[in-house]
Structure 1
Amino acid sequence: MAILVTRPQPDNARTVAALRAQGYVGLPAPMLRFEKVLVSLDADAGFGAVIVTSANALRGLADQPGAQSLFRLPVFAVGDRTAQAALDAGFRDVISAGGDALDLCALLTARAQAVKPLLYLAGADLSRDLAGELGTRGFEVVTHTTYRMAPVTDLPDDVIAAFASGRIEAVLHYSRRSARAFFQAVGLAGVEISALAIPHLCLSDAVAKIAHDTGATNVMAAAAPNEDALFATLTRAIPPNAR
């Protein structure tokens, strides 16, 4: 019996390993695929700092023309994992907001009012208009898209077989886009009835709404939008010692 993990790589592998440490078997089925987007960085733009809300934005920056010219700039990162990704990429002056986008806005307001313009390294599909929010606080923000997450349309063969044999106990959903891609894929694979019958554990109420709207009847949302809270939801739904 297995827990299906739909988040993209490399996060998928980390979650599968974390599930194993808690006594579960994780089965990977990434429903979004990372794709780098070529950017043209103006060496004369005079950026004062870089802001990042995703480690994927830094993955997308790797080997881009002009990327090395940015390494001298301070980086304001949304959280510790993204901050570490900035250090790994080659940045030296990295400050973590230690939370979410609201925390990042507060950090920038407190620490970077005199830093203009800000370069926002972002993905193609943004869940919120961070640049617009910062604009209302007096910041000049230039956004460059360094990556996109493309939906995966086909389930892996081993996942289809696991659904057909009833070996999947629950599905973990981390975003609205990956959840939407998952339910489209199970329909194409012909395992929709099996997929809808099992628990769907979601990172937030917004993600849970996708599962509800698709027809899943056993849907639970984490108490907070982080993996620890999602794993706590999994423990309530399927205790490791009850398997």
Structure 2
Amino acid sequence: MTCVWITRSEPGATRLERALTEAGIESINAPVLTTEIVKEMAPSEEFDVTVFVSEHAVKHATERKWSSIGPVVAVGQTTAEALRSIGLEPVQAAQASSEGILELLEQQYPDAGSVLIVAGADGRRDLDKWLTDKGVHVCTWITYRRILLEPVVDVGACDVIVASSAEALSRIAELCFAHANFNGGQLSVLVPSSRVAEVAASFGFKNIVNSNGADPRTVVTTLKDRLL
């Protein structure tokens, strides 16, 4: 039976584990990252659009008593669901990436003069740069940072690794290639975007599958259609 290593942080790891179990797929829930809040005050000014780049960004922003003023954009399904859980109705990018958010903003909010990006420390800053280059006033509010974990996992027992971000892949590669007999082609790596696929390849993984999304339904469907 195929065994999937779930590497994403909680609470997403447990949601994916539950979905895999319901689909009859064996898994190992062993996150390589967790998060902690960054005590940075929310910007006092108002913005035309607010962009959330992750579920963690939503969680930590609401813990800081953030409240919505204008339209809210979510990078993907899980982030959108987190926003709905606090009573907001976000607009969701068709592509769960910085590129997808940029396309959405250009199409639906072409006159937006200011954008607040709610994100984690050390994440991608491409969206910030692209919008700034277009003359948009951008403020990035850092609400959390990622903390590396050291899970004990029998990599040889895994057939597929589900990696939800480039940051996670760095840790995954470190743990996998620490084994002298590990071969980058011995298992498959499922990633949520083309950019993360490129990162996986740069670390030496050979069998990379892009699910074009990180929510449990998309991951399970991709596993069934392409890897089982």
- Aligned AA (1:94): P
Higher relative contact order (CA 8 A, sep 6+): 2
Residues 219-238 of structure 1: matches in 2 within 5 Å? 219-227=206-214, 231=220, 234-235=223-224
CA distance in 2, matches of 1:74, 1:59: 18
Partner of 1:137: 134
Residues 44-83 of structure 1: matches in 2 within 5 Å? 45-64=45-64, 67-68=65-66, 70-83=67-80
Matched residue count: 223
- Contact 1:201–1:230 (CA under 8 A) maintained in structure 2: no
TM-score of the pair, normalised by structure 1:
0.74
CA RMSD of aligned residues (A): 3.1
Partner of 1:182: 172
TM-score of the pair, normalised by structure 2:
0.78
2:147 maps to 1:146: no
Going from structure 1 to structure 2, the CA distance change for 1:235 and 1:199 (only over 3 Å counts) comes to farther
Partner of 1:99: 95
CA distance in 2, matches of 1:42, 1:212: 38
Task: Spell out, residue by residue over 1:129-162, the C-alpha distance to the aligned partner (whole angstroms, 9 max, x if none).
Answer: 112212233321111111122222x223xx3xx4
Partner of 2:188: 200
Partner of 1:30: 31
Identical aligned pairs, as a percentage?
24
Once the two structures are TM-superposed, the CA of residue 232 in structure 1 deviates from its matched residue by 6.0
- Contact 1:55–1:82 (CA under 8 A) maintained in structure 2: yes
CA distance in 1, matches of 2:93, 2:162: 27
CA distance in 1, matches of 2:168, 2:122: 12
Residues 6-21 of structure 1: matches in 2 within 5 Å? 6-21=7-22
Task: Spell out, residue by residue over 1:168-188, the C-alpha distance to the aligned partner (whole angstroms, 9 max, x if none).
Answer: 333333333212212323566
- Contact 1:113–1:139 (CA under 8 A) maintained in structure 2: no
Q: Larger Cα Rg: Structure 1 or Structure 2?
A: 1
State the SS of the aligned residue for 2:16: helix
CA distance in 2, matches of 1:30, 1:116: 38
Once the two structures are TM-superposed, the CA of residue 93 in structure 1 deviates from its matched residue by 5.2
State the SS of the aligned residue for 2:159: strand
- Contact 1:19–1:25 (CA under 8 A) maintained in structure 2: yes
CA distance in 2, matches of 1:42, 1:170: 41
Once the two structures are TM-superposed, the CA of residue 125 in structure 1 deviates from its matched residue by 2.4
2:170 maps to 1:173: no
CA distance in 2, matches of 1:108, 1:87: 20
- Contact 1:5–1:26 (CA under 8 A) maintained in structure 2: yes
Q: Which has the higher helix share?
A: 1
- Aligned AA (2:7): T
